[in-house]
């Protein structure tokens, strides 16, 4: 028999049982629609958290990983390496260790000559005490080359007031986290007193405020010029505690970090290592979204399977008559399998439209008021791959769901059916 004849018979079967056909289509439609919505929302949230994470994490962080053990102590050289002695040290006092990187300017210049390095930001970081009138708050200050820091973290897009360059044009300037500025009750132009751990006190003028959207940054952090921070700590111009690196391709960071650690003899952490917990959480959410979505489509497939079984049970005499008229097994399979495929294609098309509509509607819902989160609406990812995956999986599910009933119909004995 010709295929168009089989398709016409399939069409008649589907239209004669409109209610069952619509129910089967709706199962596929809602399954794919919820898949698109769920996977788009989960991916959007993960992307948002990753961007938030990367906004405060350099691609590679180079620093002095000091330890307070006995590896460089006098007792280690005098006693610990002698195998015939037992040495017990009670409540040891850690030795004074310089946190700075030796030959930091040379390392920075060498890094800037490395292929693939986009920006290198030198850093002097220290805990400090902010004073403004009666208000005293503990915080963290980073002394930086603000132009390089802007290239590493795109500070210009995170400024609540002022510009990163204002730190250079303001004598003894300082940039404050906007929550820190609010707690101190200061605005641009006000003078803030800062006390270093050594007891040195200096006054700085507020040149602007920034917002990263992370409480541990906006509540406590400030930026100073590198020279101002070195002066506050009583250090020379070569005193650098950390180096932050931005690459042209951040995916190269895990491979490059160990090479830099061996090259310079300091600890080098890549962004994946520094944010392993966040990435693990994102991976778990992605897996959960895929498992839940595929389960919904699988349930829809079982619904189609049951409906096709009912259709075949009610069409036994029709199948017997078709076989008596010369339709072979392949024709019977084509007739009933094409019904499943049509249900899958129509249901998948409607599901893609439903998923896009729901995703777009969710993306326009305002995010609840939050003074920390830098977000206006719910994040939703619109990725064509999700729509292709949903359509393919939906059609395959319905195809497999209709295959077994179709094979069952092809094995019907017309003589036994017609005899009753």
Quote the mean pLDDT of the chain.
82
DSSP type of residue 94: P
According to the model, what pLDDT value does residue 1 have?
A: 45
> How do beta strands 201-210 and 173-177 pair?
parallel
> How do beta strands 135-144 and 221-225 pair?
parallel
| Residue 327: exposure state from Cβ atoms within 10 A (0-12, 13-18, ≥19) | buried
Which of 46, 43, 57 lies closest to 275, judged by CA? Answer: 57
Continuous segment of H or E residues that includes residue 135: strand 135-144
Q: pTM for the whole thing?
A: 0.70
φ/ψ (deg, to 5) at 136? -130, 125
Calculate the alpha carbon distances from 108 to 181, 231, 259, 370, 396 in Å: 32, 20, 15, 39, 56
> How do beta strands 242-247 and 60-63 pair?
antiparallel
According to the model, what pLDDT value does residue 201 have?
A: 92
pLDDT digits (tens, 9 = 90+) for 240-283: 999 999 999 988 999 999 999 999 989 999 988 888 777 787 78
As a whole number of angstroms, the distance between CA 255 and CA 356 comes to: 38
DSSP type of residue 131: E
| Residue 110: exposure state from Cβ atoms within 10 A (0-12, 13-18, ≥19) | middle
Radius of gyration of the chain (CA): 34
As a whole number of angstroms, the distance between CA 50 and CA 65 comes to: 26
Residues of the chain with pLDDT under 50: 1, 72
What is the three-state SS of the chain? CCHHHHHHHHHHHHHHCHHHHHHHHHHHHHHHHHHHHHHHHHHHHHHHHHHHHHCCCCCEEEECCCCCCCCCCHHHHHHHCCCCCCCCCCCCCCCCCCCCCCCHHHHHHHHHCCCCEEEEEEEEEEEEEEEECCEEEEEEEEEECHHHHHHHHCHHHHEEECCCCHHHHCCCEEEEEHHHHHHHCCCCCCEEEEECCCCCEEEEEEEEEECCCCHHHHCCEEEEEHHHHHHHHCCCCCCCCEEEEEECCHHHHHHHHHHHHHHHCCEEEEHHHHCHHHHHHHHHHHHHHHHHHHHHHHHHHHHHHHHHHHHHHHCHHHHHHHHHCCCCHHHHHHHHHHHHHHHHHHHHHHHHHHHHHHHHHHHCCECCCCCCCCCCECCCCCCHHHHHHHHHHHHHHHHHHHHHHHHHHHCCCHHHHHHC
Contact 191, 173 (CB under 8 A): no
C-alpha distance across the termini of the chain, in Å: 27
Give Cβ neighbours of residue 264 (< 8 Å, ≥ 6 apart).
62, 101, 107
According to the model, what pLDDT value does residue 119 have?
A: 92
State CA 345 to chain mean position distance.
Answer: 32
According to the model, what pLDDT value does residue 345 have?
A: 85
As a whole number of angstroms, the distance between CA 373 and CA 242 comes to: 28
């Amino acid at each position: 028999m010709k295929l168009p004849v089989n398709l016409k018979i399939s069409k008649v079967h589907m239209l004669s049982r409109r209610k069952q056909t619509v129910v089967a289509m709706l199962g596929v439609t809602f399954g794919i629609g919820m898949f698109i919505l769920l996977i788009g929302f989960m991916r959007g949230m993960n992307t948002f958290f990753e961007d938030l994470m990367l906004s405060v994490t350099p691609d590679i962080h180079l620093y002095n990983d000091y330890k307070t053990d006995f590896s460089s102590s006098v007792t280690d050289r005098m006693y610990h390496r002698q195998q015939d002695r037992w040495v017990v040290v009670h409540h040891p006092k850690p030795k004074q260790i310089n946190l700075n990187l030796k030959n930091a300017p040379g390392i920075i210049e060498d890094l800037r000559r490395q292929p693939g390095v986009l920006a290198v930001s030198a850093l002097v970081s220290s805990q400090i005490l902010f004073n403004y009138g009666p208000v005293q708050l503990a915080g963290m200050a980073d002394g930086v080359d603000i132009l390089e820091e802007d290239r590493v973290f795109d500070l210009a897009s995170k400024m609540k007031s002022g510009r990163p360059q204002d730190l250079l044009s303001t004598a003894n300037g300082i940039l404050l986290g906007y929550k820190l500025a609010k707690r101190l009750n200061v605005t641009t132009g006000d003078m803030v007193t800062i006390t270093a751990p050594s007891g040195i006190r200096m006054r700085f003028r507020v040149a602007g405020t920034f917002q990263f959207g992370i409480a541990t940054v906006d509540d406590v952090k400030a930026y100073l010029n590198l020279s101002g921070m070195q002066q506050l700590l009583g250090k020379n111009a070569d005193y650098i505690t950390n180096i932050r690196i931005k690459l042209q391709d951040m995916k190269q960071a895990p491979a490059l970090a160990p090479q830099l650690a061996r090259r310079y003899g300091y600890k080098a952490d890549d962004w994946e290592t520094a944010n392993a917990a966040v990435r693990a959480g994102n991976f778990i959410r992605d897996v959960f979204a895929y498992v839940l979505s595929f389960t919904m489509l699988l349930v829809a497939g079982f619904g189609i399977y049951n409906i096709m079984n009912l259709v075949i049970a009610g069409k036994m005499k029709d199948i017997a008559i078709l076989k008596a008229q010369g339709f072979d097994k392949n024709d019977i399979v084509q007739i009933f399998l094409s019904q499943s495929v049509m249900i899958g294609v129509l249901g998948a098309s409607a599901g893609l439209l439903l998923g896009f509509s729901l995703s777009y509607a969710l993306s326009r819902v305002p995010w609840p008021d939050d003074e920390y989160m830098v977000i206006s609406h719910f994040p939703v990812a619109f990725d064509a791959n999700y729509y292709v995956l949903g359509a393919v999986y939906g059609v395959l599910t319905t195809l497999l769901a209709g295959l077994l009933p179709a094979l069952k119909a092809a094995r019907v004995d017309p003589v036994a059916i017609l005899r009753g």
